[in-house]
Amino acid sequence: MTTQPLILRKDQERRLLAGHCWIYSNEVDTQATPLKTLEPGQPVEILSRQERWIGHGYANPRALLCARIVSRDPDQPLSPALWLKRIHDALSLRERLYDKPFYRLVFGESDGLPGLIVDRYGDLLAVQITTAGMERERGEILAALEQIIRPKTMVLRNDTAVRELEGLAQGVESILGEPEDAVPIVEHGLELVVSPLTGQKTGWFFDQAENRGRLARYGVGERVLDVCSYIGAWGLRAAALGAKAVTCVDVSQSALERVADNAALNKLDGRVQGLHGDAFEVLRALRDEGRRFDTVILDPPAFIKRRKDEKDGTQAYQRLNRLGMEVLEPGGLLITSSCSFHMGRDTFLRTVQQAARRAGRSLQLLEAGQQGPDHPVHPAIPETAYLKTFFLRVIPGF
**Structural domain includes residue 182:** no
* Residue-level pLDDT at 397: 76
Return the pLDDT at 375: 98
HSE toward the beta carbon, residue 54, CA cutoff 13 A: 31
All residues at 6 or more sequence positions from 311 whose CB lies less than 8 Å from its CB, including other chains: none
Q: What CA–CA distance (Å, rounded) separates 214 from 100? A: 19
Lowest mean pLDDT among 22-26, 136-140, 275-279, 308-312: 308-312
Kindly state whether residue 184 falls inside one of the protein's structural domains: no
Residues 125 and 67 in one domain: no
Confidence of residue 1 (pLDDT cuts 50, 70, 90): low
User: Which of 155, 176, 197 is where one domain is finished?
Assistant: 176
Residues 381 and 234 in one domain: yes
User: Is position 243 within any domain?
Assistant: yes
Q: Which domain holds residue 60?
A: 4-71
Q: What is the pTM of this model?
A: 0.95
DSSP characters for 367-387? EEE---TTSPPPTT-GGG---
Q: How many structural domains comprise the chain?
A: 3
Same domain, 36 and 93: no
The pLDDT of residue 396: 86
Report pLDDT digits (tens) over 338-383. 999 999 999 999 999 999 999 999 999 999 999 999 999 999 999 9
Residue 138: what residue type? R
First-residue to last-residue Cα distance in the chain: 66
- Residue 100 is given by DSSP the state S
Residue 225 lies in a domain: yes
| CATH assignment at residue 293 | 3.40.50.150
Query: Rounded CA gap, 354 and 360, in Å?
Result: 10
Per residue in 46-94, pLDDT tens? 999 999 999 999 999 999 999 999 999 999 999 999 999 999 999 999 9
- With respect to residue 181, please indicate whether it lies within any of the assigned structural domains: no
Question: Same structural domain for residues 249 and 346?
Answer: yes
Q: Which residues are catalytic?
A: 339
Co-location of 226 and 249 in the same domain: yes
CATH of the domain at 24: 2.30.130.10
- What mean pLDDT value characterizes the chain? 96
Dist. CA 274–CA 232, nearest whole Å: 9
Question: What integer pLDDT is reported at residue 189 of this predicted model?
Answer: 95
What is residue 196's three-state secondary structure? Answer: coil
Confidence of residue 398 (pLDDT cuts 50, 70, 90): confident
* φ, ψ dihedrals at 360, nearest 5°: 70, 30
* Rounded Cα–Cα distance for residues 292 and 331 (Å): 12
Whether residues 267 and 367 fall in one domain? yes
* Alpha-carbon span 291 to 207, nearest angstrom: 30
Looking at the fold, whether 301 and 219 belong to one and the same domain comes out as yes
Distance CA 155, CA 118 (A): 10
Q: For residue 192, is it within any domain?
A: no
Confidence of residue 264 (pLDDT cuts 50, 70, 90): very high
Q: Are residue 392 and residue 298 in the same domain, yes or no?
A: yes
Per-residue confidence (pLDDT) for residue 3, from 0 to 100: 87
Residue 49 sits in the same domain as residue 144: no
Q: Residues of the chain with pLDDT > 90: what percent?
A: 96
76 forms bridges with which residues in the sheet?
none
Q: In whole angstroms, give the CA distance from residue 243 to residue 226.
A: 12
Which domain CATH number covers 93? 3.30.750.80
Q: Is residue 296 part of a domain?
A: yes
Residues 295 and 390 in one domain: yes
* C-alpha–C-alpha distance, residues 324 and 319, integer Å: 9
pLDDT band at 294 (very low <50, low <70, confident <90, very high): very high
Nearest to residue 7, comparing CAs of 41, 62, 45, 57?
45
Of 19, 38, 71, the one marking the end of a domain is 71
59 & 130 share domain? no
Shared domain for 60 and 98, answered yes or no, is no
Give the mean pLDDT of 284-311. Answer: 95
What 3-state class would DSSP assign to 88?
Answer: helix
Residues 192-212 pLDDT 10s: 999 999 999 999 999 999 999
- The pLDDT of 281-294, averaged and rounded, is 98
> In this structure, are residues 267 and 235 in contact, taking their beta carbons and an 8 Å threshold?
no
Q: Which H or E element spans position 89?
A: helix 80-97
**SS3 state at 347:** helix
Residue 137 covered by a domain = yes
- Measured CA to CA, the distance from residue 354 to residue 148 in angstroms comes to 49
